[in-house]
Amino acid sequence: MSARDDILSGRTSLGIELGSTRIKACLIGSDPSAVLASGSSAWENRLVDGLWTYGLDEVWAGIQEAYAALVADVHDRYGVRPRTFGALGVSAMMHGYLAFDAAGDLLVPFRTWRNTNTAVAAAELTELLGVNIPLRWSIAHLHQAVVDGEGHVPRIARVNTLAGYVHERLTGRHVLGVGDASGMFPIDSATGGYDAAKAGAYDVLVAGRLPAPLTDLLPAVLSAGADAGALTAEGALLLDPTGSLAPGTPLCPPEGDAGTGMVATNAVAPRTGNVSAGTSVFAMVVLERPLAGAHHELDLVTTPAGDAVAMVHCNNGASELAAWAGLFTRFAAAAGAPIGDDTAFEALFREALAGEADAGGLLAYNHLAGEPIAGLTAGRPLFVRTPDSAFTLANFMRAQLFGVFGTLALGMQTLAAEGVELDRMFAHGGMFRTAGVAQRLLAGALGAPVAVGEAAAEGGAWGIAVLASFLTHADGLSLGEYLDQRVFAAAVQEVADPDPVDVAGFSAYLDRYRAGLAVEAAAISSL
């Protein structure tokens, strides 16, 4: 009845996150730790003219399907349908490039974080700004368009991320949460906005080639808890074409999936971090102090509250692992013993625990796309073994799980060399639904305790719902205090400490993995 009352009175917070393969909607009530209902829609990026993209019509079709599924779930559970919410938030994949003209028309198809065509721009910007500018950052995409003299550049009026674009259509406000904005252009921690000196240096570099100063093109930056506008009548119809949703719901600043992952794992304080595993895999580590130097393996971004974070982002995550699981699922069906996807993952993950500590000499590369940390410009998924390796299902699955964490571990070694210490890493994403497997192997790969909470599989959709709740229920608390006192106070977490055998086994695997990158490079040049 309490949940039903929350829904009827609008004491709820709705989070919508556009991930790489699913768009999810998540509803929470007066107790922000509990999910009341959810809905989702599947989608997939496409390679068009050599660039990874999603159509904007797919954005709205997916959001509407996920929202309708959430409304149906609410009705099934509580017998009512929501007409308003206490707060709303939008999150999406970070980075990428959405450029619009003054009329709001998209100038070129959405270029996602997955594209690696920005090497020239990223290198030039890294040298100019004195910080690592990764290939996927929005400024790298914009500058590559400038360098290439693309015809749309003189007509650019606004540049946005996917979350910022959706938020603008819902509210009319061209704003962005500081965490997502930190993946567009470097943030000045003293001001909480874009680094003015670096923006000025960029304006000098491109003088006469952009129609306005850079910061006039980018969304305004807001920290967690700031007023980011309200749902307009047009925005309400975009979410709910039936017309049942009323306008007026306040929105929190739109955020990137890295920031919502930090919130969903309560990893916003120094000496904490989180790992998010999906189509991409990345680690976020909240820093106690600035890093000594720039490293191509590390991005410097922020929490949704603006605190400095080192990010290790790998373009490739669990997609190749899922493809192999699908192969085994199909085999079971062909053999006349069909099983569900969850059953297949459970069985295969459990089998990995029976493998040798170093995966028996097997190697798995999950590179469907280029991987800048590993110095690879394109994707060639590979499974490699030597004649004397122990080719068993257990070792095969252990190698596949290790492969998801391989490039991540290379970047985390750079952080360790900087003297960055961790008390605990938190993990979330579908990989961690099978209790004690991916979590245990990740602890071995990182050499640090890894915690998984009850909401690990809900991920960023719940995280952005919590940020929406923070907008209206903070009562003067900081984001960290709100998470500790209101969201995670009674949270149940399972912690896996690194097993010395797993640590040694993964270290041996990683040595082979690093050496075998030459095989990956040869495959790219040959195939």
Can you give the pLDDT at residue 300?
92
Can you give the pLDDT at residue 277?
86
- Do domains 2-252 and 319-454+497-526 share one topology? The answer is yes
Query: Domain 2-252 adopts which CATH fold?
Result: Nucleotidyltransferase; domain 5 (3.30.420)
pLDDT of 456 higher than 90? no
Taking residue 230's Cβ as centre, other Cβ atoms within 10 Å add up to: 17
**What is the C-alpha separation between 236 and 27, in angstroms, rounded?**
16
First to last CA, the chain: 60
Q: Identify the band that residue 294 occupies on the pLDDT scale cut at 50, 70 and 90.
A: confident
403 with 317: CB under 8 angstroms? no
**What is the C-alpha separation between 31 and 15, in angstroms, rounded?**
14
Can you give the pLDDT at residue 51?
94
Q: pLDDT averaged over the chain? A: 94
**By C-alpha distance, which of 115, 113, 136, 114 is closest to 125?**
136
DSSP readout, 370-414?
-BGGGTBSS---EEE--TTS---HHHHHHHHHHHHHHHHHHHHHH
Joined tokens for residue 445 = 């790969």
Can you give the pLDDT at residue 173?
98
Q: What is the mean pLDDT of residues 463-490?
A: 94
- Is 171 in a helix, a strand, or coil? helix
Share of the chain above pLDDT 70, in %: 99
If phi over 0 gives left and psi between -120 and 50 gives alpha, with beta otherwise, what is residue 419?
left
113 with 19: CB under 8 angstroms? no
**What is the C-alpha separation between 265 and 469, in angstroms, rounded?**
16
pLDDT of 105 higher than 90? yes
Query: Which CATH code for domain 319-454+497-526?
Result: 3.30.420.40
pLDDT of 431 higher than 70? yes
The pLDDT tens digits of the residues spanning 234-250 come to 999 999 999 999 999 99
Q: Count CA atoms within 13 Å of residue 43 on its CB side.
A: 25
Residue partners of 170: CB distance under 8 A and separation at least 6: 88, 90, 229, 231, 232, 235, 238, 239, 251
> DSSP state, 137?
S
> DSSP state, 452?
E
The pLDDT tens digits of the residues spanning 161-212 come to 999 999 999 999 999 999 999 999 999 988 999 999 999 999 999 999 999 9
**What is the C-alpha separation between 11 and 128, in angstroms, rounded?**
48
pLDDT of 232 higher than 90? yes
pLDDT of 343 higher than 60? yes
User: How many helices, marked H, and strands, marked E, lie in the chain?
Assistant: 17, 22
Can you give the pLDDT at residue 1?
64
Is pLDDT larger for residue 18 or for residue 423?
18
Residue partners of 151: CB distance under 8 A and separation at least 6: none
Q: What is the mean pLDDT of residues 304-331?
A: 94
**What is the C-alpha separation between 246 and 234, in angstroms, rounded?**
10
Amino acid at 455: A
**What is the C-alpha separation between 407 and 9, in angstroms, rounded?**
47
> DSSP state, 231?
-
Q: Identify the band that residue 335 occupies on the pLDDT scale cut at 50, 70 and 90.
A: very high
Q: What is the mean pLDDT of residues 379-396?
A: 97
Q: To 10 degrees, the CA torsion angle through 153, 158, 159, 165? A: -140
177 - beta bridge partners?
222
pLDDT of 78 higher than 90? yes
Can you give the pLDDT at residue 292?
87
Can you give the pLDDT at residue 422?
85
| Sequence ranges of the domains in the chain | 2-252, 319-454+497-526
Can you give the pLDDT at residue 455?
57
- Is 308 in a helix, a strand, or coil? strand
pLDDT of 301 higher than 70? yes
Can you give the pLDDT at residue 280?
86
